[in-house]
Amino acid sequence: MDPLVTLIGALMLVISIMLSPLSSRLGMPVLLIFLVVGMIMGEDGPGGILFDDFELAFLIANLALGVILLDGGMRTRAETFRVGLRPALVLASVGVFLTASGAGLVAWWVFDMHWLTALLIGAIISSTDAAAVFSLLQGRGLHLNERVSATLEIESGSNDPMAIFLTLMLVTMIEAGGTSEGWMALMMLVKQFGIGGAVGVAGGFIVVELANRVRLTPSLYPLLVVAAGIMVFSGTNALGGSGFLAIYLAGVVVGNRPVRMMPMILQVHDGLAWLAQLCLFLMLGLLVTPSELLPLAGGGLVLALALIFLIRPLTVMATLWPFGFNRRELGFISWVGLRGAVPIVLALFPIIAGLPEAQLIFHVAFFIVLVSLVVQGTTMAPLARKLTPSRKFIKIH
């Protein structure tokens, strides 16, 4: 391996870590800093690094998201499922479908493309991102009331199966010339949720048993948990289920059971999750060509703003009104519909499948993520203060 490659990689990590304090000072998401550093080091920036291995990027991104979701699951209390499971699941299923449909309609109008391609863009950007949501909620000193935090955490950890299902279905339909078997599509959805949920919960209990029964050097317990979590993730994907949902649920089980050396496990996993986010967003920044974002900036901005100010709020109100949320709670949940790594990773599916407009789809998804992190990420804490005069809802340190 060229020593220059490892030198540049280490330099990017050091620069990103050193710049991370700017997040709190400037009020911007730290993930945005990582993304921008990757773009600066890419082929259009001073770094001049040409990285276009999409299959390697897809593999790394999936592993990184698995580690992030495992850590997020272990920090989700079981009590949150009691108050937030039903609204979160409705938002993670029906809400994702409505978001994809609305975003697809706007994309069709803005970019004047085939309706299937427009719907594919809608599906790719339809889910909120666990990495972005966990990072902002945990990193801004926000302590939400139990129901709001539970809904946001469970939604961001469980809405990937629907987005993946819609993306794969539409990629298949475009490859087949617009036809698709409805029964097969439904079976794919059931497998994503069913296998992902079952294997995730079962895998979590197995990980707990392994950690409690095997005597190891203390520092090996965190590695056992992350390795077993990746096994759950990969095994679920091999069975046709949602690995993202499975590893998140496995993390929830592990985090809510008595496990030997749990404080050390959580401490190490916090570092692993940050490393995964760093590598993930730096790599995604390298993948994009900023000059190719400029021609679609106008249409992309219209789609991004429609998603933030119209589609997400309408979806939240349509799906959560039966659960008794008040206006302030609905407003905050609408605003924390952050897009992050998941839409960019899903945008790799059309590239790997070799679809004609795959590059356009990828750059549109990337642009939407940038706008979401800038607009929603930088204003979340100020908006929380404005929406929440009562400490019953939120407290900011």
| Max Cα–Cα distance, the chain, nearest Å | 61
Residue 143 pairs with which residues in a beta bridge? 395
10 Å CB burial of residue 185 (0-12, 13-18, 19+) is middle
Residue with tokens 């997400």: 312
pLDDT tens for the 397 residues of the chain, in order: 567 778 888 888 898 888 888 776 666 677 888 888 999 888 887 878 888 888 889 899 889 989 988 988 898 787 777 788 899 989 988 999 999 999 999 999 999 899 999 999 999 999 887 766 766 665 555 566 778 878 888 888 778 778 888 898 898 888 877 665 556 767 777 888 899 999 999 999 999 999 999 999 999 999 999 999 999 999 999 998 889 889 989 999 999 999 999 999 999 998 998 899 888 889 988 988 888 888 898 999 999 999 999 999 999 999 998 888 888 889 888 988 888 888 888 999 999 988 989 999 999 999 999 999 888 888 876 776 666 544 444 444 4
Token pair belonging to 89: 């699941």
In CATH, what number does 54-396 get? 1.20.1530.20
3-state secondary structure of 49: strand
Alpha carbons 336 and 82: distance in angstroms, whole number: 21
What residue segments make up the domains of the chain, in order of their start? 54-396
Alpha carbons 379 and 332: distance in angstroms, whole number: 11
Question: pTM for this structure?
Answer: 0.85
